[in-house]
Amino acid sequence: MRPINGDHVTEAVAGCTAALRAAVDRDWRAVRAGRLEWDCHATAVHVADDLIAYAGNLAGRAQDAYVPFELKFLDEGTGNAGLLHVIETTGALLAAAVRTAPPGVRAFHPYPFRSADAQGFAAMGIAEVLLHTHDMAEGLDIPYEPPAELVEALLACLFPHVQPGPAPWPTLLWATGRGELPGRAPVTEWRWMNNLVIPAGRFTLTGLRPAAAHDLRLGGDGGFTWLDGGPYEGTREAASFLMKAYEGGVHRPEFGVFVLVRHEDGRAIGGLGFHGVPDEDGRVEIGYDLVEGARGQGYATEALRALADWALARDDVGSLFATIERDNTPSQAVVTRVGFVPVSGEDGTEPASGLLHYELRG
């Protein structure tokens, strides 16, 4: 499982154009693109339009709306071969924008959290290429199947809420309403999902994707530049739980794990997140840790307050709770400063457990 990058965009576009060249002499305007309402020519233009739009929004750092331009027209007389050249060109522009984007840069995209990073824009471009090449190939009756490793990476990046299936390509087709998967109901409505980021004063809470969680679980850095000594073991353990939820099909990214990325130097200084989704009463557990060199500077309080505010503003969350060891007085001070109060007894102690329990209600 690999994080998406600009090379993957190039790979996806090369596979698209190679497949469609087998039908370059056909009349694409006369052939419907699979289950779409568009013909194959309009679908190919749409792919090029999306690629240049994603490149433009990322390169232009769009914040509140798309950069106001579209690829509306081709030169008069442009044939299918020329259209494939346009797809190659716009794909190269997106790949370049992804490769040159500084770490942490995000730009506008409406769904679901109104922004995406370079990896997200690369993945969205790849999704457009793979899925619409499938649509056109289906209409033109030509073979097409992208590399399994590329599709696996795409699923982990943009479809973290979808349980991996027996093979990546059939799973992606099923998840986007283009095919069937044994044991799963047909999909009639779908959306991809970029990772969530939450501003938190001196740093950003950056939602952890499955590929990054997988790397952290195996002892890697998850694609982050950590402060010396990081990540702490608690973050690796949380990443492991995230992967188990993803593999089991019960991962909800908004209730996953967040890495604290400091603004001043771009370094990751800790992890913070949920132990699962809210229960039927809207109660959800929260946990956190910091790299040793970042402790004692108010970061944990700042991060916990930001995540608590975000969670308790939701309709499906009524309260947060935290479990802390009795001798961990610094962590007890953090939750107390944020407004958590002891529960389960006068001092919050679970009998004979040595643990303290705290709750914060909305």
Q: What is the pLDDT of residue 70?
A: 83
Q: Closest by alpha carbon to 145, among 175, 106, 187, 173?
A: 173
In words, the CATH class of domain 197-361 is alpha beta
Q: What is the pLDDT of residue 1?
A: 79
Q: What is the mean pLDDT of the chain?
A: 95
The CA distance from 6 to 91, in Å, is 9
Q: What is the pLDDT of residue 73?
A: 82
CA end-to-end distance (rounded Å), the chain: 38
Q: What is the pLDDT of residue 85?
A: 98
β-strand pairing of 341-343 with 319-325? unpaired
Confidence class for position 344, pLDDT limits 50, 70, 90: confident
Confidence class for position 352, pLDDT limits 50, 70, 90: low
Q: What is the pLDDT of residue 314?
A: 96
pTM: 0.94
Q: What is the pLDDT of residue 72?
A: 74
Confidence class for position 350, pLDDT limits 50, 70, 90: low
The CA distance from 12 to 153, in Å, is 12
Q: What is the pLDDT of residue 111?
A: 86
Mean per-residue pLDDT, 278-289: 96
pLDDT digits (tens, 9 = 90+) for 48-75: 999 999 999 999 999 999 999 887 789 9
345 close to 301: Cβ distance less than 8 angstroms:
no
Tell the residue number behind the tokens 């289906």, with chain if given: 138
Count of CA atoms in the C-beta half-sphere (13 A) of 24? 14
Mean per-residue pLDDT, 154-166: 97
The CA distance from 353 to 119, in Å, is 43
Per cent of the chain over pLDDT 70 is 98
Please tell me the CATH code under which domain 6-175 is placed.
1.20.120.450
155 close to 168: Cβ distance less than 8 angstroms:
yes
Which residues make Cβ contacts (< 8 Å) with residue 3, sequence separation at least 6?
A: 119, 153, 157, 209, 211, 212, 215, 223
Mean per-residue pLDDT, 209-223: 96
> Residue ranges of the domains in the chain?
6-175, 197-361
pLDDT digits (tens, 9 = 90+) for 105-143: 999 999 889 999 999 999 999 999 999 999 999 999 999
Q: What is the pLDDT of residue 48?
A: 97
pLDDT digits (tens, 9 = 90+) for 237-252: 999 999 999 999 999 9
Mean per-residue pLDDT, 75-93: 97
